[in-house]
Amino acid sequence: MIVFCVIVLLFPVCGSVPLAGWVQSPGHPRGYDPYSNLTWKKCAPTGHKITLTLLHLDLEESFECEDDALKVFADKVLLFTLCGRKSVKELQASVNPFLQSLPGGCLTVSFLADYSNTERHTGFRGFYTIQDVDECMDPENECTQLCNNYIGGYRCFCRPNYILDNDNHTCKVSCSEDHTNSKEGVLMSPDWPRPYPENSVCSYTLAVEEGLQFELTFLDVFDLEKKENGECIDSLTIKPLNGKAETFCKRDIPSSLLTRSQRVEIIFRTDHKGTNRGFRLSYKTRGMKCTGPVTTKSSMIPQESEYPTGSKVTVKCDKGHVLKSLESAEDKYEATCQKNGQWSPLIPCEPVDCSIPDLSEFMDLSEDDPPTTYLNKISFKCTNEYYQLTKNGTFTCNAEGNWESESGQKFTEDMPKCEPVCGMNKDTSSGGRIFGGRPAEIGQIPWQLLHRISPRGGASLISDYWAITAAHVVDGYETTTMSWLGGMIDGKSQNPVTMETEKIIIHPNYQKVGRGSPSNYNHDIALIKMSKRVPLGRNIRPVCLPKKTDEPKGDATISGFGRFLEEKNSRYLLYGPVQIYPLNKCDSVGLPVTNNMICAGGDEVDSCQGDSGGPLFSPVLGYGSPDNPYRITGIVSWGPRGCGNKSYKGFYTKVQNYLDWIKETMEKN
């Protein structure tokens, strides 16, 4: 049978490619002519290689064989470039041993002569043969045990008691065993107690009737190959029908294992080498029992280490967990130990989910898609640079499914908000005047508003909906929609931010006289609510309200579009520094002065007609910072006739006295 196979395999070799032959230069041995050339190529069949032996070499000698040359290639790789004369002995020693192809490869010979020779050269001659390759001598043939070479190929085979795997290279043992309905016995690795064979995958199946489980006890030495870091090379895996599979290869395994399963598969795997002894273990059955917990994040009543089949327990979810699969809001149920060692019903306790709360405008989560279940935290941020959180924005999901602040309040009770950043402007230098004052730059006093038509006056933005002004400016216009302009420094600007009023609320203690100058300026303050949110930006931003504890004193700044000459309103926003004086230092010109007023003035700097309702703010313009923002101290209210008179000062509504009214009014409206 073996001889027959060899003859069959020789036919295609003999029929398609000569097994041997000659290759020589044109005219050999008489000599080659100028411009002679030759290209010769032969390829070996599969499982064979082609070998060339040069027996004669006589070519013109030249530097790097640039005149006449013989080149030999193996599978397109240049092996040699030859010229000059070499004896057979020299060729055998340094050239011929290397003139061979890879298995199934090709040899190519290229000869080229130039236009002339100083003497006649006989050329070259070689003998080629096609030979069978002994694949069994190749260490990479992947036969794990024995190898049989034949002409054109090779075959792997195995020692006795081994079988050849489907890959036709790997030898392995047939070691799988079925122990179904066997209640006790012994399992061991192949060839125990001798070293176990390589390339083994043994599967031992244990199975009995429901209500029983297997107990495994390891006997003698447990010795499987492993790496120095403890990683398994060979392994023993115990895989119960229910439960988690465990894999072993260390020597310090437990002596006994209770599988809690009526069916167990034991899988023994080895690699291609090693001299370890393996394992031996006994198995037996015992009655099935259940263990706890029934499900994670729960407790059991009563609490025992094991429960016989038929036992009933009450399963109660841990704090912050609920039975999501039940329609009711129950957090406990009854479970029974089954014959297979499992609890039924098995309802998981899942963490309470607070979900993402509804967020106000300009507010977003600090993280994308954060977990929202029990004890997880979320925090918030403002998405607009002109807004900031009013309080700490971190909340924790509590056991009741509510987001809880650090102070213990619910999200709905202690919800942070994105409020406008107040009292900030662009970086500027200080100085300037109103009456005869200095023009403001765009964004320098971004809270300044203007009512351009009669009554001409100013106001200060204090939020993205509310502005504050003098009561006498809006007295009589409470039911009228007024248009206020902001985000500009030119009173004739064609592109201001236009705001329409929704409500005008005058302080209840202000003595209304209706569209005219009152005889009493006490409580000269009013709030304006805009019909829609003011689009805050670099050029229109609110000013901060004063603190209750900060008594007005020192230097401040006033601003407005009022008169800068005796008879002419300013087209541009002007500002200037003033000093705040005690009320007893200011001449009231016969009008009543109250503690609800501030007196302020400066050297040729004063507010004037048309500035009414505008701000008196501090610190002095140019000295504000995030730690010391600009705050509206007063509202331009009244003063003596003749703006800029050094003998008189102007009077401003003291905003500090109205903080509670402002807060209450804004919250109610």
262 shares its domain with 301: no
Residue 78 Cα distances to 70, 96, 98, 107, 488, angstroms = 11, 14, 11, 10, 83
Beta bridge partners of 568: 565
Range of the domain at 203: 175-287
Q: What is the pLDDT of residue 564?
A: 61
Give the pair of three-digit tokens for residue 325: 């699969």
311 shares its domain with 207: no
Q: What is the pLDDT of residue 265?
A: 95
393 shares its domain with 520: no
- C-beta atoms surrounding 643 within 10 Å: 24
> Residue 333 belongs to a domain with what CATH number?
2.10.70.10
CA 258 to chain centre: 43
CA 578 to chain centre: 55
Q: What is the pLDDT of residue 11?
A: 36
97 shares its domain with 46: yes
Q: How far apart are CA 607 and CA 600, in angstroms?
A: 10
Helices and strands of the chain, counted as H and E runs: 4, 50
Q: How far apart are CA 176 and CA 198, in angstroms?
A: 15
Q: Which of 287, 291, 244 has the alpha carbon at shortest distance from 264?
A: 244
Tell me, yes or no, whether 310 lies in a domain: yes
Tell me, yes or no, whether 526 lies in a domain: yes
> Residue 607 belongs to a domain with what CATH number?
2.40.10.10
15: helix, strand or coil: helix
**SS3 track for 50-73:** EEEEEEEEECCCCHHHCCCEEEEE
346 shares its domain with 369: no
The residues carrying an active-site annotation are 472, 524, 612
36 shares its domain with 125: yes
> Residue 99 belongs to a domain with what CATH number?
2.60.120.290
Burial class (CB in 10 A: 0-12, 13-18, 19+), 229: exposed
Give me the residues of the chain with pLDDT under 50, please. 1-15, 428-436
Does a cis peptide bond (omega within 30 degrees of 0) precede residue 455? yes
Q: What is the pLDDT of residue 124?
A: 96
pLDDT tens-place string over residues 624-642: 999 999 999 999 998 776 6
Tell me, yes or no, whether 452 lies in a domain: yes
| Residue 65, φ and ψ in degrees, nearest 5 | 55, 40
Hey, CA dihedral for 255, 258, 263, 264, is it positive or negative? negative
272 shares its domain with 388: no
166: helix, strand or coil: coil
150 shares its domain with 188: no
Tell me, yes or no, whether 37 lies in a domain: yes
- Is 607 in contact with 614 (CB distance < 8 Å)? yes
Phi-psi region of 210 (alpha: psi -120 to 50; beta: other; left: phi over 0): beta
The residue assigned the tokens 């069949």 is: 45
Number of domains in the chain: 6
- Is 618 in contact with 625 (CB distance < 8 Å)? no
Give the domain-ending residue among 287, 319, 335: 287
Tell me, yes or no, whether 431 lies in a domain: no
| Residue 539, φ and ψ in degrees, nearest 5 | -105, -5
All residues at 6 or more sequence positions from 269 whose CB lies less than 8 Å from its CB, including other chains? 200, 201, 202, 234, 235, 237
Residue 375 Cα distances to 204, 264, 352, 466, 535, angstroms = 46, 39, 9, 39, 38
C-alpha count within 13 angstroms, C-beta hemisphere, residue 201: 4
Tell me, yes or no, whether 167 lies in a domain: yes
278 shares its domain with 406: no
All residues at 6 or more sequence positions from 210 whose CB lies less than 8 Å from its CB, including other chains? 262, 288, 339, 340
Q: What is the pLDDT of residue 515?
A: 66
Burial class (CB in 10 A: 0-12, 13-18, 19+), 452: middle
Query: ∠ CA 638-641-642 to the nearest 5 degrees?
Result: 120
471 shares its domain with 614: yes
DSSP letter for 442, please. T
10 shares its domain with 118: yes
- Is 653 in contact with 637 (CB distance < 8 Å)? yes
Q: What is the pLDDT of residue 175?
A: 82
Tell me, yes or no, whether 356 lies in a domain: no
Q: Which of 474, 572, 570 has the alpha carbon at shortest distance from 524?
A: 474
Using only C-alpha atoms, the chain has a radius of gyration, in whole angstroms, of: 50
Strands 177-180 and 201-207: parallel
121 shares its domain with 64: yes
pLDDT tens-place string over residues 484-543: 999 999 988 888 999 999 999 999 999 877 665 676 899 999 999 999 999 999 999 999
Give the domain-ending residue among 250, 266, 287: 287
Tell me, yes or no, whether 426 lies in a domain: no
Q: How far apart are CA 120 and CA 118, in angstroms?
A: 7
Alpha helices, DSSP H, located in 20-128? 88-94
> Residue 148 belongs to a domain with what CATH number?
2.10.25.10
